[in-house]
Amino acid sequence: MNSQASNIEYELDGSIATVRLNRPEKLNAFTFAMIDQIRDAVERAAADEGVVAIIITGTGRAFSAGLDAGDLARSTKGGVPSSARDTAPDELPALFSYLLRVPKPVIAAVNGVTAGGGFVLAMMCDLRFAASDASFTTVFSKRGLIAEHGTAWLLPRIVGTSRALDLLWSSRRFDATEAYRIGFVDRLMPRENLLDETRAYLRELAANVSPNSLAVIKSEVYRHWSLAMEGAFRDADDLMKVALMHPDAAEGVKSFVERRAPRFKRIRGEKP
């Protein structure tokens, strides 16, 4: 996907796909075209049976500064272009929300400045690993905007209600150490180790964990947020009965008994 027309790079390293925002001179601020290109790259990884997990990161000193200032200005004047992409009728109207339905782990490797829509992109990933010098800001309230793109629902579930209100109200910049302390970031590491350690985590999953289990567990976690306890318990019980019949269950037991690495079946995801 490396071309003059694209500001997204797609890299394949064994079973791990890396989607890299590559507009460093603009702090990887994304244009409307880039938003579609990010989705194209994620869909490519989701559909590839050889890919177990996906990393999203940025080039240079930023993860992403959010929507490009020019496109943001046009959007305030009613100039938001409609995407040519067909979306599912039940798709959530929130930027990057499709990542929640990708049946593979998606990790944001946050390498630097993360603001606005870039914050949303990191938030919509399943996990966030951050460089120790990364920084974050929601920024919306300082632009006269509201808690956009599901942040009022998702952010409190990650960091808690009062912390989410603080970050959304103040739009203050907070560093990676605070992000880790409040639970927005899951792993903290030196910038030079960020991609290597993120890939090492995912290689461990690829070597030892059923891709089908990863997909079902991810779906369970996000869907069960909107279910009452009884409904969630019953759904998990139904899913367990299906899992026991899946070939990976037999392989998991067999590999344990034989004391060898499991040979689980790779999966190909539908378009998220």
Read off the CATH number of the domain in which 219 is found: 1.10.12
| 36 shares its domain with 168 | yes
pTM as predicted: 0.90
| 127 shares its domain with 176 | yes
Q: State residue 25's pLDDT score.
A: 94
> For residue 99, what are the domain limits?
8-206
| 218 shares its domain with 184 | no
Q: Mutual orientation of helices 229-245 and 211-224 as an angle, nearest 10°? A: 170
pLDDT top residue among 69 and 39 = 39
Average pLDDT (89-96) is 85
Residue 127 has pLDDT above 50, yes or no: yes
Residue 262, domain member (yes or no): no
User: Which two three-digit tokens encode residue 1?
Assistant: 């996907």
| β-bridge pairing 16-21 and 8-13 | antiparallel
| 241 shares its domain with 160 | no
Residue 61, domain member (yes or no): yes
Q: Lowest-confidence range among 35-39, 128-132, 191-195, 248-252?
A: 248-252
Residue 4 has pLDDT above 50, yes or no: no
In the chain, how many H helices and how many E strands?
Answer: 10, 10
- For 167-184, what is each residue's pLDDT tens digit? 999 999 999 999 999 999
Could you tell me where the beta strands, DSSP code E, fall in the chain? 8-13, 16-21, 53-58, 62-64, 106-110, 113-115, 127-131, 135-137, 174-175, 187-189
Q: At 147, is the pLDDT very low, low, confident or very high (cuts 50, 70, 90)?
A: confident
| 176 shares its domain with 214 | no
Domain tally for the chain? 2
Residue 246 has pLDDT above 70, yes or no: yes
Average pLDDT (58-64) is 96
Q: How far apart are CA 224 and CA 230, in angstroms?
A: 10
| 197 shares its domain with 236 | no
Residue 270, domain member (yes or no): no
- Looking at residue 143, the DSSP 8-state letter turns out to be G
Q: Are 168 and 152 in contact (CB under 8 A)?
A: yes
Residue 57 has pLDDT above 50, yes or no: yes
Across-strand partners of 105? none
Q: Name the average pLDDT for the chain.
A: 91
User: Which two three-digit tokens encode residue 93?
Assistant: 């109207």
Residue 1, domain member (yes or no): no
| 171 shares its domain with 216 | no
Q: How far apart are CA 176 and CA 157, in angstroms?
A: 19
Q: State residue 143's pLDDT score.
A: 86
Residue that terminates a domain, selected from 164, 189, 206: 206
Residue 180, domain member (yes or no): yes
Q: State residue 90's pLDDT score.
A: 78
| 119 shares its domain with 231 | no
Q: Lowest-confidence range among 79-83, 217-221, 223-227?
A: 79-83
Q: State residue 52's pLDDT score.
A: 96
Residue 269, domain member (yes or no): no
CATH assignment at residue 24 = 3.90.226.10
Would you list the DSSP string of 86-130?
---TT--SSTTGGGGG-SS-EEEEE-SEEETHHHHHHHHSSEEEE
**Cβ count within 10 A of residue 176:** 23
Q: At 272, is the pLDDT very low, low, confident or very high (cuts 50, 70, 90)?
A: low
| 92 shares its domain with 220 | no
Residue that terminates a domain, selected from 188, 206, 224: 206
For 115: left if phi > 0, alpha if psi spans -120 to 50, otherwise beta; the answer is: beta
| 231 shares its domain with 170 | no
